[in-house]
């Protein structure tokens, strides 16, 4: 026979469904029958009496709230004439919530939903599908709505999140980014959201501590055209975007030392040390019209980075990233991470063959292991045009 602890487990599992039904305005959720095994077969008479007594003592009949038990007098061969439970149910929402000790929680949830949806009704479907996540932020709703209002009225403000003139702490936006992102996507107009950008601040036009990118200008003439006093330096992303680079070939190199040891090349500029941050380059406008070569490690991660780069710069060519290179220098390879992802998109047949080798044999040929003389020769053979 079902016991009070079993009913509590069933009620806990039912709670999210109750919240969704309440959000839908369903007033017919209660009374709610709890499916249960009410059979006493197999129990001794003493054990059956104990089970029935425990069920009664934890019920609304005794406590004044919680589940109700409908009893029916029956004659049983094993237990004689006795009252047997034939239905277990929660008759009202108050019975249900008090039983779960969630009356106050639900009231906070109700107030937060009303407050949120009265101002931003577009968020109701999200709240319905993410009730547990919303329950976790009901105490933060005032602050969340302040952020939504401000960014709706001042789209892409180009300030740091902590500079927003709002009555929240300086780390509030950062702390609540996981909730704010889907809400902002729903609330803000399309022109206020960079839909192709995953980074939170870049997506919504906020400043952030930008990563610095290593840059090497490989041609003194190009350096002079750009009015740069140095041939190698680092720049924040926004400064890189504003460089007036034209008619230049771009070499993107993963390893910092490899970038610093690239040979002089006609009208070429090198970028490096980006790793998984490669996608930040999507905001650099002059890359769209520049010939680009990418040279990274020969491992599954390196080919994934190459694929990510091609997702927004499809004209990128690779250097020393193919099966022939890996076969020739396999003696220099070390074990990879063991990752076995699906084949990335946008790889050429020779690149895909290299990826397959890395995945199958767990190989990693770090780009700095290839002899420098070989590297210089490969780059010198690019025959970069004017």
pLDDT tens string 318-374: 999 999 999 999 999 999 999 999 999 999 999 999 999 999 999 999 999 999 999
Give the pTM. Answer: 0.70
> 3-state class of 207 per DSSP?
strand
The alpha carbon dihedral of 269, 273, 276, 281 has a sign of negative
- Residue-wise pLDDT for 165-199, tens only, equals 999 999 999 999 999 999 999 999 999 999 888 88
Closest CA to 99 of 141, 61, 140: 61
- Taking Cα atoms as reference points, which of 285, 269, 168, 272 lies closest to residue 221? 269
CA pair distance 186, 181, nearest whole angstrom: 9
pLDDT at 42 over 80: no
Neighbouring C-alpha atoms within 13 Å toward the C-beta of 358:
34
99-120: string of b/e by CB count within 10 Å (b at 16+)?
Answer: bbebeeebeebeebbeebeeeb
Distance, in Å, from the CA atom of 90 to the CA atom of 74, rounded to the nearest integer, reads 23
- 174-185 in b/e burial notation, b at 16+ Cβ within 10 A? eebeebbeebbe
**For residue 141, how many other CB atoms are within 10 A of its CB?**
17
What does each C-alpha distance from 138 to 39, 75, 118, 198, 273 come to in angstroms? 42, 52, 15, 26, 41
Report d(CA 90, CA 99) in Å as an integer.
9
Give the pLDDT band of residue 3 (cuts 50, 70, 90). Answer: confident
pLDDT tens profile 78-134: 555 567 788 999 999 999 999 999 999 999 999 999 999 999 999 999 999 999 999
| 154 closest CA partner among 208, 204, 203 | 204
State the chain's mean pLDDT as an integer: 91
Strand 80-90 and strand 68-76: pairing? antiparallel
Q: CATH 3.40.1360.10: does it fit domain 212-380?
A: yes
What is the largest distance, in Å, between two alpha-carbon atoms of the chain?
A: 105
**Does residue 350 contact residue 324 with C-beta atoms inside 8 Å?**
yes
282 neighbors 197 (Cβ within 8 angstroms): yes
Which sequence spans correspond to the domains of the chain?
Answer: 4-101, 104-204, 212-380
């Amino acid at each position: 026979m079902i016991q009070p602890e079993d009913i509590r487990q069933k009620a806990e599992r039912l709670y999210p469904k109750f919240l969704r039904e309440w959000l839908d305005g369903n007033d017919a959720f209660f009374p709610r029958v709890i499916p249960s095994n009410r059979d006493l077969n197999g129990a001794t008479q003493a054990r059956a009496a104990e089970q029935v007594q425990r069920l009664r003592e934890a019920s609304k009949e005794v406590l004044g709230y919680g589940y109700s038990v409908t009893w029916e007098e029956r004659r049983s061969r094993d237990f004689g004439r006795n009252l047997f439970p034939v239905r277990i149910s929660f008759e009202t929402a108050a019975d249900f919530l008090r039983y779960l000790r969630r009356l106050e929680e639900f009231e906070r949830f109700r107030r937060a939903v009303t407050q949120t949806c009265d101002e931003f009704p577009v968020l109701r479907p999200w709240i319905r599908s993410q009730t547990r996540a919303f329950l976790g932020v009901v105490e933060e709703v005032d602050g969340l709505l302040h952020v939504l209002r401000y960014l709706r009225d001042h789209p892409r403000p180009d300030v740091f999140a902590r500079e927003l003139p709002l009555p929240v702490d300086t780390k509030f936006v950062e702390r609540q980014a996981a909730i704010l992102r889907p809400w902002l996507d729903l609330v803000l107009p399309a022109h206020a959201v960079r839909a192709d950008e995953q980074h939170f601040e870049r997506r919504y036009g906020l400043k952030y501590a930008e990563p610095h990118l290593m840059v090497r200008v490989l041609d003194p003439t190009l350096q002079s055209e750009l009015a740069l006093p140095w041939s190698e330096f680092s720049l924040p992303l926004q400064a890189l975007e504003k460089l007036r680079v034209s008619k230049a070939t771009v070499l993107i190199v993963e390893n910092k030392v490899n970038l610093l040891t690239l040979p002089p090349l006609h009208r070429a500029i090198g970028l490096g040390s980006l790793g998984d941050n490669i996608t930040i380059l999507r905001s650099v406008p002059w890359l769209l019209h520049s010939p680009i070569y990418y040279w990274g490690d020969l491992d599954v991660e390196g080919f994934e980075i190459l694929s990510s780069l091609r997702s927004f710069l499809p004209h990128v060519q690779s250097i020393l990233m193919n099966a022939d290179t890996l076969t020739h220098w396999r003696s220099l390879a070390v074990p990879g991470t063991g990752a076995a992802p699906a084949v990335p998109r946008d790889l050429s047949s020779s690149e895909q063959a290299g990826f397959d080798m890395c995945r199958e044999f767990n190989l990693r040929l770090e780009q700095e292991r290839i002899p420098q003389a070989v590297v210089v020769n490969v780059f010198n053979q690019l025959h970069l045009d004017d």
